Amino acid sequence: MRFSLPHLVHPLPALAAILALTAGSLQARARELTPAERDRPIVIASDPWCPYACDPDADGREGYMVDLTREIFEGLGFKVDYRVVNFSMMKRMAKDGSATAVPGMASTMDGAVVLPDLAQGNSANAVALPRTHSFTFAKPQDFERYRLGVIKDYDYGGTLQEYVDQNIQNPDRIFVLSGFGYSHLVQGLRMLSAGRIDMLLDDHNVLRWQVRRMGMQQQLATRSLKDDADLFVGFSQNDPRAPELARIMAEGTRRMRENGRLAAIMRNYGLEEQAALLSN
């Protein structure tokens, strides 16, 4: 996976000055909110999508995008709550404003969320498949000979989503998985291992995380479809603070890229390749 980030060229004294200015800018941004707006908690809601947003009960951690968001806003005095919900509930909470922030967004969810000007990550779709199987992806029609597992209500984007929509009623091509937490991924990987489906479609990092979590590295491989897209922590349009919170998120992300803190958080989640790019 490619994680496109700017290269650092500033000498250390200049970098220190820039970081100090950025920290001051974050404080100034926070002061743009009223005391009542600053006192209201920031509620992060997500279905388990580790390493971006995890289930603390299952993984012992909250996810690197949750860690990033928590560190930025708690550092400014905000209270931050993280709630693990199913995907449908996450979408409803983002739309009605009961969730302030939702991690791992590739789009505005039809205008339901405001995205920061700077991305918090980068993602590519991928498939998990048996290690004995060779597969090269060039276009969605390459899946026509295979039974592909997909997650209910997920949007894989562009022509790939069009392929899923066009074949959703064809059980020889598409099998829809549903559930809460990791149950859909666990079910999909077990079906894949048993030969009941040929491939499982999801985010590349998510699939790699879950394959490792289940100890199936010797049986299953992951193949990126190389359709990289930026990922963001989005802020609900129904929260009047959303535009300012998105600006704080962008500035905080930039600061944590520059001072190496974001790379350190990523390494805690096994994202060494992306973290290395941050350090170049």
Written out in words, the top-level CATH class of the domain with range 125-224 is alpha beta
Q: What is the pLDDT of residue 278?
A: 67
Q: What is the pLDDT of residue 275?
A: 79
* pLDDT of residue 276 exceeding 90: no
DSSP string, 32-83: TS-HHHHHS-EEEEE--BTTTB--HHHHSS--HHHHHHHHHHHTTT--EEEE
Q: What is the pLDDT of residues 55-73, one digit of tens each?
A: 999 999 999 999 999 999 9
Regarding predicted confidence, which is higher, 23 or 76?
76
DSSP string, 178-194: --STTHHHHHHHHHHHT
Q: What is the DSSP letter of 140?
A: G
* pLDDT of residue 7 exceeding 50: no
* pLDDT of residue 130 exceeding 90: yes
Q: What is the pLDDT of residues 205-244, one digit of tens each?
A: 999 999 999 999 999 999 999 999 999 999 999 999 999 9
Q: What is the pLDDT of residues 131-188, one digit of tens each?
A: 999 999 999 999 999 999 999 988 898 999 999 999 999 999 999 998 877 889 999 9
pTM: 0.84
Q: CA angle, corner 3, sides to 126 and 147, nearest 5?
A: 5
Q: What is the pLDDT of residue 17?
A: 40
Q: Which residues pair with 277 in a beta bridge?
A: none
Helix axes 204-213, 183-193, angle to 10 degrees: 80
Answer whether 118's CB lies under 8 Å from 254's CB: yes
CA torsion 57→59→62→63, rounded to 10°?
A: -160
Q: What is the pLDDT of residue 180?
A: 77
Q: The tokens 């974050």 sit on which residue?
A: 26
Percent helix / strand / coil, the chain, rounded to 5: 40, 20, 40
Confidence tier at 273 by pLDDT (50, 70, 90)? confident
Q: Among 75-89, 182-196, 262-276, whose mean pLDDT is lowest?
A: 262-276
Confidence tier at 24 by pLDDT (50, 70, 90)? low
* pLDDT of residue 5 exceeding 60: no
* Structure token pair of residue 187: 């079910």
Percent of the chain with pLDDT over 90: 75
**Quick one: average pLDDT of 250-272?**
94
Domains 12-122+230-279 and 125-224 share a fold: yes
What CATH superfamily classification does 12-122+230-279 receive?
Periplasmic binding protein-like II (3.40.190.10)
Q: Which residues pair with 42 in a beta bridge?
A: 80
* pLDDT of residue 198 exceeding 70: yes
Q: What residue segments make up the domains of the chain, in order of their start?
A: 12-122+230-279, 125-224
